[in-house]
Amino acid sequence: MKRNILITGGAGFIGSHVVRLFVNKYPDYRIVNLDKLTYAGNLANLKDIEDRPNYSFVKADIADLDEMRRIITENHIDGIIHLAAESHVDRSIKDPFTFARTNVMGTLSLLQAAKEYWESLPEKYEGKLFYHISTDEVYGALELTDPQGIESPFTTTASSTEHHHAYGRAFFLETTKYNPHSPYSASKASSDHFVRAYHDTYGMPTLVTNCSNNYGPYQFPEKLIPLFINNIRHRKPLPVYGKGENVRDWLFVEDHARAIDLIFHKGKIADTYNIGGFNEWKNIDLIKVIIRTVDRLLGNPEGHSDSLITYVTDRLGHDMRYAIDSRKLQRELGWEPSLQFEEGIEKTVRWYLDNQAWMDHITSGDYQRYYEDMYSNR
């Protein structure tokens, strides 16, 4: 079947993996990548597929309603996978307005443009889909208690024995009440509500998925894992917020992209799916795994980079624990993560070490200013 699919934010971290997967897997689909190319957007992430006949790129701002109308209409778009967003919590604490503009007004503009175009067609909403990519952070924060939660149902996420998979009894379910704390998660929660409102009010076929923290190649080095790999490489301090006890639930980005593909094609309209690998780590434990892996791959003696760990002032309103229950996705659509965490981390560290030019390009210029602004007063 031929389809015309708009992927927003395709020059970013997760978006670039989704674009690559769709362009490679579906030669009959026309994939239009729409991205504003903010500091986080980088067309070098898509070098390997940029010349494919079923791929095109358009530079645009999702908050520009007229542009969204034009692009959706001219490309006869019948499916939208919406990833474009401001995505970094620390930046949202410094500049919440940009987050409201892109994440809320941008999503609303995209919804409205799709609505107008699809309602103008004879078949209306038939065969159409607006798929919105969201985060587990909209659910708020979980408590850190005894590790007596759900055991991972996935054999692939079984990890080393020293590591627990759960740091509490409670998990985020699809039915968990929204309770965002940061300007980032508040803006994502708001956009999720608008997406559902367009289904409930106008009958637009929509879907929302909420995923846990992603890691892997092409992630901007403001996020924990690429930042720390790069700092170890340059023997720079590793700024651990607070006591390093916060817990995040980590998923390899290609597993998220595979879930998006599955849900785009088989997901139930108007439904919500949580995506996560039952793979919780305390920041400090994860950081030790990163240090060990980087040192080993660089040929440094064990413990060589431990002294780079530097405890700094905590993030304001720092959510203690995120943990996704993704059993609905496993049960209904048969999705499972493909990798053990240690394998994923090894692959990821190797990729950043092998792609130093990609990293150097990104960390030149504006990045230095960002880094000083974010870390000099901690």
Contact between 224 and ligand NAD per CB under 6 A: no
Nearer to ligand TYD, 92 or 109 (CB): 92
Site residues (CB under 6 A) for ligand TYD, limited to 61-120: 89
31 is in the binding site of which of ligand NAD, ligand TYD, none (Cβ under 5 to 8 A by kind)? Answer: none
**Interacting residues of 162 by C-beta distance below 8 A, sequence separation 6+:** none
Nearer to ligand TYD, 181 or 304 (CB): 181
Among 5, 6, 11, 114, binds ligand NAD (CB under 6 A): 11
Rounded CA separation 195/119 (Å): 16
* Given 35, 137, 254, 319, the catalytic residue: 137
The length of the chain, given as a count of residues: 378
Rounded CA separation 22/7 (Å): 10
Nearer to ligand NAD, 41 or 217 (CB): 41
What is the helix (H) or strand (E) element at residue 310, kind and residue range? strand 309-312
Amino acid at 310: T
Q: Residues binding ligand TYD: what is the number (CB under 6 A)?
A: 12
Among 79-87, 174-182, 325-333, 353-361, the segment contacting ligand NAD (CB under 6 A): 79-87
Integer Rg of the chain from CA: 20
Nearest residue (beta carbon) to ligand NAD: 12
Contact between 14 and ligand TYD per CB under 6 A: no
Nearer to ligand TYD, 26 or 241 (CB): 241
Residue 35's DSSP bridge partners are: 59
Q: How far is CA 203 from CA 23, 124, 198, in A?
A: 29, 10, 7
Contacts with ligand TYD, 246-275, as mask; x by CB under 6 A: x-x---------------------------
Q: How far is the CB of 17 from ligand NAD (least distance, A)?
A: 8
Closest CA to 202 of 101, 113, 77: 113
270 is in the binding site of which of ligand NAD, ligand TYD, none (Cβ under 5 to 8 A by kind)? Answer: none
Closest CA to 292 of 232, 374, 214: 232
Contact between 241 and ligand TYD per CB under 6 A: yes
* Given 78, 136, 192, 254, the catalytic residue: 136
HSE on the CB side for 18, CA within 13 Å?
31
Q: Is 136 a catalytic residue?
A: yes
CB 98 within 8 A of CB 36: no
Tokens representing residue 243 in the block? 């006591």
CB 11 within 8 A of CB 46: yes
The answer for 210, left when phi > 0, alpha when psi is -120 to 50, beta otherwise, is beta
Contact between 83 and ligand NAD per CB under 6 A: yes
Among 61-69, 115-123, 238-246, 352-360, the segment contacting ligand TYD (CB under 6 A): 238-246
DSSP per residue, 316-338: TT---B--B--HHHHHHH-----
Q: Is 55 a catalytic residue?
A: no
283 is in the binding site of which of ligand TYD, ligand NAD, none (Cβ under 5 to 8 A by kind)? Answer: ligand TYD
Per CB under 6 A, residues contacting ligand NAD are: 8-9, 11-15, 35-38, 40-41, 61-63, 83-87, 102, 106, 133, 135, 188, 211, 213-214, 220
Per CB under 6 A, residues contacting ligand TYD are: 89, 213, 223-224, 227, 239-241, 246, 248, 283, 315
- By annotation, the residues acting in catalysis are 136-137, 184
